[in-house]
Structure 1
Amino acid sequence: MITVIGTGTGTGPSGLSGRAAAALADAALVVGARRHLDAAPLPPAARRVVLGPLAPALDAVAAHRESGDGPVVVLASGDPGFFGITRALAERFGADALEVHPSSPSVAVAFARLGLSWDDAVVVSAHGRDPRTAVNVCRAHPKTAVLTGPGAGPAELGAALHRAGAERVLVVASALGTGEESVERLTPAEAAERHWPPQVSVVLCLDPRRPAESGARRVAGPAGSPSAPAGWALPEEAFEHRDSMVTKYEVRALALARLGPRTGDLVWDVGAGSGSVAVECARLGAAAVAVERTADGAERVRANAAAHGVDVQVVHGAAPEALEDLPDPDAVFVGGGGAGLPGIVTACARRARRCVVVTLAALDRVPAVRGALAAQGLRTDGVLLQSSRLAPLPGDVTRLAAGNPVFVLWGTVPESSPGASPEPGPGASPGPGPGASPGPSSAEGADH
């Protein structure tokens, strides 16, 4: 049996349950981060393995069990089953070989210090993973908790949010459950300028402009439109627009299916117009940037985002120049046309991690757009989309009213390409994020 003991968030070694304390007293091998080992009352004869990379520690546990030299105890932070070492141990040794004694998750403790509920929060781990996923989740959702790690702490998170112009409050919780506990509120810019110690437990990212949901909840997780909209490909009437300059819902439905926006993604909407695509991507959980060259169009995008309760970063400028300072996107939607369209598509295709979707009405520009996508190594495909909607006629009868045909072209980054990520459908569950490692590199990443 491998006993896994969570500690460090209010239930230190002296506060262990009777069974956990007894298991630790009988341990022949104790595995854990150095700070956990130093704080725990280890048996004098117990062998210690300090966690660094996870694989050697698991190998040491396996060898010890094969030798039959005695019980094994693994010390971890908080709840080892929450983004923690329990998963890796169960995969290696089987769940039946584990006895887990969790402590309070650091996320729960951090929210408790603020007097806030967290059943409507998104929790994302940046420990041993690509931090861009955590940044995008913070941009898209009003209440996020980030489990930090080396190179993905409050400074890096604050700097990325500040560059994006995200109006957020960061709450940095350090050394939770110890005499050195600290809970600080800062702006992203203030967090970026600080040097943070390794004792940071979790960073909460809150959007003060979007109030918390009120009333009783039945299902944990982010509520309402940011993660699980009741519908998508909304009618044009759901958006403020000028002279019907809005992507029609039939076209938007196919574009969203190809973009695959999900929690942790960043999507560009280039030539945004009304921003309908950006807003819908944000409703499906992605961070969204709308690039619009006209001032009134940019204001219209902001109004539509506010009307639907989502946060869309609006960049007032002309592509491709306006794209230069933006972080690389997972997916890009390009609407509109013009002689400069192939150059814009080229700039987007160079930086997209998953796909680029382009809609256009002019047949003459289809070859150039396909060529621009293919020239950057993307696999190209497309359809001519032509639909007819039901329309009433006098006498309580109905006719079919044909809409203008629209070309929908897309290019997909081959899966073998660096930075490529799978193409999910709208609302897909978040994975670990492009470039993420499959799990924490040590128990330090367990509910950190």
Structure 2
Amino acid sequence: MVGMGAAAGAAPAGDVAAGAELVVGGRRHLDAVRLPEGVRTVVLGALAPALDTVAEYVERGRPVTVLASGDPGFFGIVRALAERFGPERLDVRAGVSSVAAAFARVGLPWDDAVVASAHGRDLRTAVNVCRAYPKVAVLTGPGAGPAELGAALRNDGRVFVVASALGSAEERVERVTPAEAAARDWGTAVSVVLCLDGARALGPVRAVAGVRPGPAGWALAEDAFAHRDSMITKFEVRALALARLGPRPGDLVWDVGAGSGSVAVECARLGAAVTAVERTPDGVGRVRANAAAHGV
């Protein structure tokens, strides 16, 4: 199992398939390596038939090489291979992942980034993670690329970094607004989209990577929020609402008639994306102030 690195020269493009009797990979991966004489190749499309072919060779003890992008253990094919054949039978040689390469191109650390895959998955989960967190990498797929993300996030104050064909001579890394992304045809070469809140993209030092740790407590006391004339959802009611809603990363919560925004803020502290609706300008200002005070 060889990952073709997203950094130029990160993975050898020569004899990685030497000795194999079957080589499986995308067309561009197969074109990038020197194939042994007489080797059988399978161009990856549907995964199940390719795994069935691999199984035929594995059962006979014949050598197989699988080519993939970047680090195949990170939202990649290693999971499917390990489930089918057992991890002890795999020799994985990882390249530089597209996520690591994209953040390197823009000079940002990514230990505090959240990574969401929209490849073969519901795009709404990635969209809501982008709304909730200031630094997100989205692994794209057919029907879930920069244009679709841009259309969903055009009003959310984010900046996109669209990284295409990383590690190749055709590499492109472009900063665009979500509206600009939505208006373009990006083709099939997009590797990853970084979705950034420019003001918060360089976060504090972390001890735990990825999603920020959950709050130490919830159903906070009323004095944790600015409110008008005691017009605030009492903490006992918030506790019940939060327990029933179970907000988490990837969810979207609407708080209509948000008042002080206490319920909205508590849902956001638990990782959900939140849209709070309040009628009056001073009410909107109060919700925003409470959100800022709690770092969401």
By the TM > 0.5 criterion, same fold?
Answer: yes
Q: Which residue of 1 aligns with 2:272?
A: 286
The answer to which of 293-302 and 48-57 deviates more is 293-302
The answer to which of 144-153 and 237-246 deviates more is 237-246
From 144, 160, 168, the counterpart of 2:152: 160
From 202, 207, 213, the counterpart of 1:218: 207
Q: Which residue of 1 aligns with 2:170?
A: 180
- Displacement after TM superposition at 1:211 (Å): 5.1
State TM-score, norm by structure 2: 0.95
Q: Which residue of 1 aligns with 2:294?
A: 308
From 74, 87, 95, the counterpart of 1:95: 87
Residue 257 (structure 2) pairs with residue 271 (structure 1): yes
1: CA distance between counterparts of 2:219 and 2:135? 25
2: CA distance between counterparts of 1:23 and 1:106? 20
2: CA distance between counterparts of 1:130 and 1:13? 31
- Indicate conservation of the 8 Å contact 2:249/2:271, yes or no: yes
State TM-score, norm by structure 1: 0.64
- Displacement after TM superposition at 1:294 (Å): 3.0
- Displacement after TM superposition at 1:90 (Å): 0.4
Q: Which residue of 1 aligns with 2:142?
A: 150
The unaligned stretches of length 5 or more in structure 1 are 311-448
- Indicate conservation of the 8 Å contact 1:236/1:246, yes or no: yes
1: CA distance between counterparts of 2:105 and 2:50? 34
Q: Which residue of 1 aligns with 2:76?
A: 84
Q: Give aligned-pair identity as a percent.
A: 71
- Displacement after TM superposition at 1:140 (Å): 0.2
Q: Which residue of 2 aligns with 1:435?
A: none
Letter of the aligned partner of 2:236 in structure 1?
A: E
Write the deviation string for residues 385-440 of structure 1: whole angstroms up to 9, x where unpaired: xxxxxxxxxxxxxxxxxxxxxxxxxxxxxxxxxxxxxxxxxxxxxxxxxxxxxxxx
Q: Which residue of 1 aligns with 2:28?
A: 35
From 113, 117, 125, the counterpart of 1:121: 113
Runs of 4 or more consecutive aligned structure 1 residues displaced over 4 Å after TM superposition: 11-14
Name the count of aligned residue pairs. 296
Q: Which residue of 1 aligns with 2:97?
A: 105
* 1:203-352 map, 5 Å: 203-210=193-200, 212-215=202-205, 217-223=206-212, 227-310=213-296
1: CA distance between counterparts of 2:8 and 2:166? 10
Q: RMSD between aligned alpha carbons?
A: 1.6
Question: Radius of gyration: which is bigger?
Answer: 1
Write the deviation string for residues 342-375 of structure 1: whole angstroms up to 9, x where unpaired: xxxxxxxxxxxxxxxxxxxxxxxxxxxxxxxxxx
Q: Which residue of 2 aligns with 1:53?
A: 46
1: CA distance between counterparts of 2:202 and 2:107? 13
Letter of the aligned partner of 1:220 in structure 2?
A: A
- Displacement after TM superposition at 1:243 (Å): 1.2
1: CA distance between counterparts of 2:202 and 2:141? 27
- Indicate conservation of the 8 Å contact 1:13/1:40, yes or no: no
- Displacement after TM superposition at 1:79 (Å): 0.2
Letter of the aligned partner of 2:219 in structure 1?
A: A
Write the deviation string for residues 14-49 of structure 1: whole angstroms up to 9, x where unpaired: 726xxxx66511000001111111111111211001
- Indicate conservation of the 8 Å contact 2:146/2:193, yes or no: yes
2: CA distance between counterparts of 1:208 and 1:122? 15
Relative CO higher for 1 or 2, CA cutoff 8 Å, sep ≥ 6?
1
- Displacement after TM superposition at 1:11 (Å): 5.0
Which of the two has greater strand per residue? Answer: 1
1: CA distance between counterparts of 2:107 and 2:97? 15
- Indicate conservation of the 8 Å contact 1:138/1:144, yes or no: yes
Q: Which residue of 2 aligns with 1:394?
A: none
Change (3 A) 1:209 1:23: closer
Secondary structure of the corresponding residue to residue 203 of structure 1: strand
* 1:366-445 map, 5 Å: none
Q: Which residue of 2 aligns with 1:200?
A: 190
- Displacement after TM superposition at 1:209 (Å): 3.0
- Displacement after TM superposition at 1:115 (Å): 1.0
From 108, 112, 126, the counterpart of 1:134: 126
2: CA distance between counterparts of 1:31 and 1:286? 39
- Indicate conservation of the 8 Å contact 1:13/1:39, yes or no: no
2: CA distance between counterparts of 1:144 and 1:22? 35
- Displacement after TM superposition at 1:301 (Å): 1.1
- Indicate conservation of the 8 Å contact 2:162/2:194, yes or no: yes
